[in-house]
Amino acid sequence: MKIGVFVCYCGENIGRTVDCAAVAKELSAYPGVAHAEAYKYMCSDPGQNLIKQAIKEKNLDAVVVGSCSPHMHEKTFRKACASAGVNPYMVEIANLREHCSWIHDDIPSATAKAIDLVRIAVEKVKYNEPLQTIQVPVTKRALVIGGGIAGIQSALDIANAGFPVVLVEKEPSIGGHMSQLSETFPTLDCSQCILTPRMVEVYQHSNITLLTYSEVEKVEGFIGNFKVTVRKKARSVKDEVCTGCGLCVQNCPIKKKAQSEFDESLTTRPAIYVPFPQAVPNIPVIDRSVCTYYKTGKCQMCKKVCGREAIDFEQQDTFLTFDIGAIIAATGYKLYKIDKKPEGHIYKGYGEYGYGELKDVIDGLQFERIASASGPTSGEILRPSDKKEPKKVVFVQCVGSRDESKGFSYCSKICCMYTAKHAMLYKHKVHDGEAYVFYMDIRSNGKGYDEFVRRAIEEDGVKYIRGRVSKIYEENGKYIVKGEDTIAGVRMEIDADMVVLATAMIPQPENSKVAQLLGIPYDKHGFMQEVHPKLRPVETSTGGIFLAGACHSPRDIPESVAMASAAAAKAMVLFGSDILEREPVVAKVEASTCAGCFYCQKVCAYSAIERKEIRDRQGNLIKVVAYVNAGLCQGCGTCNATCPSKSVELIGFRDEQIFAEIQSLSGF
C-alpha cells in the first residue's frame, strides 16, 4: 500500500509548536509511506491540489492528513481525495492542532507527539478498506398514529405537500381531546368551531387514507422502508355503505348501559353509537360488550331500520399493510384518574378528594363537557348530581402534578390556564356564583396567557388561594373543601356546591405499547422520548420516526400544532430525496464464525440485529446467526466489543484497525 502523509502548518497554529517539516521527514521513512510533505494551509485550494497531485504522481492509495480535528476538515479531505480517485474512506486525520499544538508549549515534545499521532493514523489506514455509502430507497408515504389535533396537523401538512398519508385513529372518530373542549384559552374560541373544519379536510383530502377504529399492529423495517400492519377493528357497520343517517342510533333500545366516552361518563350512549354529532367519519360503531344481539342473538333493531343494509353483525377485524417511509407518533394524553388506588398500586391517588364517590367532584375534561354548548347540559353550568346550578365552585390545581408522593413529579403545564378558563367560563355563565382556585404557583407563560389569568382574577373576580387542599367531604348537602391559604397563613374551609380537579396529564395507556412497536424509548411516566431535548426535540433515536403533541410531554394546543408541523417537516425532509445516503460505518456479522448466541442483539440500542437462517442446498437449517440491518445500525460498535467469538465487526473501526493503532505506540 502506498500512503501519502500531508502535514499542515495551519498558518502558525500548528507550525508554532510542532516542527511540521520534521514530522514529514520522519514519516517519509516510515514503512508504507510513499510520500510525505508539509504545507502552510492544507485545507486551502492549493493545499488540496497538492494532495490530488501527489495521489496521481505517486499513485497513492491511502492518505493521512496531519491537521486540525477530524470534526473540522475530515469531510474536506475525503472529498478532495475522492476527486483524485482515492476512496474517501481511505483517508485518516491526525489531530495535530486541537490535540497537540494548541495544548502544548514545548516544541520537541509536541513534535514527538505529533509524529506519534500521524503514525497512529498511518497504521490505521493500512487496515482501512474502500467503502461505499449505504444507499437506501425512500418510500414517500407517511403514517400518522393518532387523530387528535397533533395527528390531524401532521397529516394535513404532509398531504398538502403532495405526499400520501395514512392516518390511524383507535377511536371511531378523529378529533381527539380537542373535540371535547368547550372553549380554548386565551381567546375563548369555540374549540369545535376551529377543529371540525380540519377534521372534514382530513376526511376529504385525496392524499389521506383515514383509518378510524383502527390500531397499528406491527411495524417492521427501518427509515424510509417501514412495513406497517394496521388492524381495522370490526365496526359491525359497513363503512362503504353507511350514509350516516343515524336511524340505527335513534332506534337502538339500549340507552343506559354504556357510558359516553365523549361526555366523560356524564351521559350514556346507545350500543350502536357515533361518539359525537360532528364525528368524522360519521359512521356508527356497535359496542359489542353491551349490544343485545351479541348477548342473546335477538334484537337486530338497527339492522331492521337501516335502509342501506349497512349493519354487519358478523364483521371481522381486517388487516391492512402499507409501505411507509416515515412515521409520526401523535398518540396524545389522558387525564390521571385520581380516585383511591388499590394497595400496591404504583401511584397512591387522592382518595381524600372523594373523586369517583362524590358525584359533584369532577375533573377538568368533565367540566369542559358541562361548559360545552354540545355537552349534556347544552352549555349551562349544572352540576351532575341534581342538575342544579352550583353557586360556589372550587377549582383545585396540581392534582397529581408536581406531587411525587401521590402522583407525578412533572408539571402538567396546561392546568393553570384551563383552570383560569374554567373559572372564567363559570363566572360568565353564573353571574352570582363564586369561584375559588387553589393553586401552588401560576405558570402562565405563553402569548397572552398571563394577561388571561389576570383577567380571571381582576375582571371576573375569581378568588385565587395559594395553598393545597387536604380533604373534600360531604356535609349537609355541601362539599366541604378543607385547605390552607399559605399567603395569609390561615386554614380555609369552603362549603362548595361543586369541585373541579385539575388532574395531571398522563400519556395514553397504550403509549408504551406503541413505543415498543416502533422501537423508540419512553420515559418512566410513559411519555415518548426525543433524541435530543434541545436540538432534536421531535426526532426519536430510531431514524424516520418522529413525535408530535402530548405523547411526548404535557403541552397545549398551539404547542402540539407547532410540534406536529415540525414532525411533518422532518418527514418531508426525508421525502425530499429518492435515496437516503448513510455513512458506511455499520456493524457486519461474519456468519461462518457466528455461534448464534445473540449477545449482540441484547446490547443493541437500535434493534438492528436480526436473526438469519443459514440453510444448505437441500434447504436444511444449519444454524441461525446474527445479521445486521444496515438501515437501522447507527455504528456504535457495542456489539463488536460484546461478541465472544469476534464475529461482529464495526466497519471503519475493526479490531485489527484499532490494534494497529495501539501497536504503533510500542515505540513511543
Partner 1 sequence: MAEEKFEPKVVAFVCNWCTYTGADLAGTSRLKQEPNARLIRVPCTGRIDPVFVIKAFESGADGVLISGCHPGDCHYNTGNFHARRRWTFFKELLNFVGIDSTRLHFSWVSASEGKKWVDVVNGVIDTVREQGPFLKYKEIKEHDFQEIEN
Q: Which stretch binds partner 1 (CB under 8 A): 261-269, 313-321, 427-435, 655-663?
A: 655-663
Query: What is the nearest approach in angstroms of partner 1 to the Cβ of residue 667?
Result: 8
Identify which of 204, 191, 199, 192 has the alpha carbon closest to the alpha carbon of residue 172.
Answer: 199
Q: CA 436 to CA 500: how far, in whole Å? A: 10
Give just the sign of the alpha carbon dihedral 321, 143, 582, 608. negative
Query: What is the nearest approach in angstroms of partner 1 to the Cβ of residue 383?
Result: 48
User: Would you say 414 and 365 are in contact if contact means Cβ atoms under 8 Å apart?
Assistant: no
Q: Which is nearer to partner 1, 465 or 604 (CB)?
A: 604
541 touching partner 1, by CB under 8 A:
yes
378 touching partner 1, by CB under 8 A:
no
Helix (H) or strand (E) holding 613: strand 609-615
Q: CA 494 to CA 464: how far, in whole Å? A: 13
319 touching partner 1, by CB under 8 A:
no
Q: Which stretch binds partner 1 (CB under 8 A): 170-178, 292-300, 419-427, 636-644?
A: 636-644
The burial of 546, by beta-carbon neighbours within 10 Å (0-12 exposed, 13-18 middle, 19 or more buried), is given as buried
Query: Cis bond leading into 281, ω under 30°?
Result: yes
70 touching partner 1, by CB under 8 A:
yes
Q: CA 503 to CA 418: how far, in whole Å? A: 11
98 touching partner 1, by CB under 8 A:
yes
Query: What is the nearest approach in angstroms of partner 1 to the Cβ of residue 524?
Result: 13
User: Would you say 263 and 375 are in contact if contact means Cβ atoms under 8 Å apart?
Assistant: yes
601 touching partner 1, by CB under 8 A:
no
Q: CA 151 to CA 144: how far, in whole Å? A: 6
Q: Which stretch binds partner 1 (CB under 8 A): 148-156, 199-207, 270-278, 600-608?
A: 600-608
Query: What is the nearest approach in angstroms of partner 1 to the Cβ of residue 131?
Result: 15
Q: Which of 113, 177, 198, 235 binds partner 1 (CB under 8 A)?
A: 113
107 touching partner 1, by CB under 8 A:
no
Q: Which of 28, 83, 577, 663 binds partner 1 (CB under 8 A)?
A: 663
Q: Which is nearer to partner 1, 382 or 586 (CB)?
A: 586
Q: Work out the widest C-alpha separation in the chain, in whole angstroms.
A: 101
Q: Which is nearer to partner 1, 366 or 640 (CB)?
A: 640
Q: CA 339 to CA 343: how far, in whole Å? A: 13
Count of positions on this chain that bind partner 1 (CB under 8 A): 46
Listed in order, strand segments (DSSP E) in 102-141 are 134-137
Say how many C-beta atoms besides its own lie within 10 A of residue 429's C-beta.
14
Q: Which of 38, 462, 481, 650 binds partner 1 (CB under 8 A)?
A: 650
126 touching partner 1, by CB under 8 A:
no
Give the burial string for 466-496 (b: 16+ CB within 10 Å, else e): ebbbeebeeeeeebebebbeeeeeeebebeb
Q: What Rg value do the Cα atoms of the chain yield, rounded?
A: 33
Query: What is the nearest approach in angstroms of partner 1 to the Cβ of residue 598?
Result: 15
SS (H, E, C) 141-190: CEEEECCCHHHHHHHHHHHHCCCCEEEECCCCCCCHHHHHCCEECCCCEE
User: Would you say 107 and 17 are in contact if contact means Cβ atoms under 8 Å apart?
Assistant: yes
67 touching partner 1, by CB under 8 A:
no
665 touching partner 1, by CB under 8 A:
yes
Identify which of 394, 398, 337, 397 has the alpha carbon closest to the alpha carbon of residue 360.
Answer: 394
593 touching partner 1, by CB under 8 A:
no
630 touching partner 1, by CB under 8 A:
no
User: Would you say 651 and 657 are in contact if contact means Cβ atoms under 8 Å apart?
Assistant: no
Q: Which of 57, 106, 451, 656 binds partner 1 (CB under 8 A)?
A: 106
637 touching partner 1, by CB under 8 A:
yes
Q: Which of 56, 58, 71, 387 binds partner 1 (CB under 8 A)?
A: 71
Q: Which of 521, 526, 537, 596 binds partner 1 (CB under 8 A)?
A: 521
127 touching partner 1, by CB under 8 A:
no
Q: CA 571 to CA 324: how far, in whole Å? A: 11
Contacts (CB under 8 A) with partner 1, residues 43-62: none
Query: What is the nearest approach in angstroms of partner 1 to the Cβ of residue 541?
Result: 6
User: Would you say 623 and 596 are in contact if contact means Cβ atoms under 8 Å apart?
Assistant: yes
536 touching partner 1, by CB under 8 A:
no
666 touching partner 1, by CB under 8 A:
yes
Distance of alpha carbon 559 from the chain centroid: 14
Distance of alpha carbon 542 from the chain centroid: 10
Q: CA 66 to CA 664: how far, in whole Å? A: 16
Q: Which of 69, 152, 413, 616 binds partner 1 (CB under 8 A)?
A: 69
User: Would you say 531 and 567 are in contact if contact means Cβ atoms under 8 Å apart?
Assistant: no
Q: Which of 16, 25, 52, 99 binds partner 1 (CB under 8 A)?
A: 99
Cell numbers for 240: 362503504
645 touching partner 1, by CB under 8 A:
no
Query: What is the nearest approach in angstroms of partner 1 to the Cβ of residue 5?
Result: 17
626 touching partner 1, by CB under 8 A:
no
Who's near 586: CB < 8 A, 6+ residues apart? 134, 628, 630, 633, 634, 635, 650, 651
194 touching partner 1, by CB under 8 A:
no
Q: CA 337 to CA 400: how far, in whole Å? A: 9
Query: What is the nearest approach in angstroms of partner 1 to the Cβ of residue 101?
Result: 8
Q: Which stretch binds partner 1 (CB under 8 A): 20-28, 95-103, 136-144, 450-458?
A: 95-103
Q: Which stretch binds partner 1 (CB under 8 A): 102-110, 211-219, 481-489, 609-617?
A: 102-110
116 touching partner 1, by CB under 8 A:
yes
544 touching partner 1, by CB under 8 A:
no
Q: Which stretch binds partner 1 (CB under 8 A): 109-117, 264-272, 473-481, 573-581?
A: 109-117
Query: What is the nearest approach in angstroms of partner 1 to the Cβ of residue 399?
Result: 30
Q: Which stretch binds partner 1 (CB under 8 A): 92-100, 145-153, 219-227, 403-411?
A: 92-100
584 touching partner 1, by CB under 8 A:
no
Q: CA 280 to CA 260: how far, in whole Å? A: 17
Distances (CA, A) of 94 to 3, 6, 88, 310: 14, 10, 15, 73
Q: Which residues bind partner 1 (CB under 8 A)?
A: 69-71, 95, 97-100, 102-106, 109-110, 112-113, 116-117, 120, 521, 541, 585, 603, 605-606, 634-638, 640-642, 650, 653, 655, 658-659, 661-663, 665-668
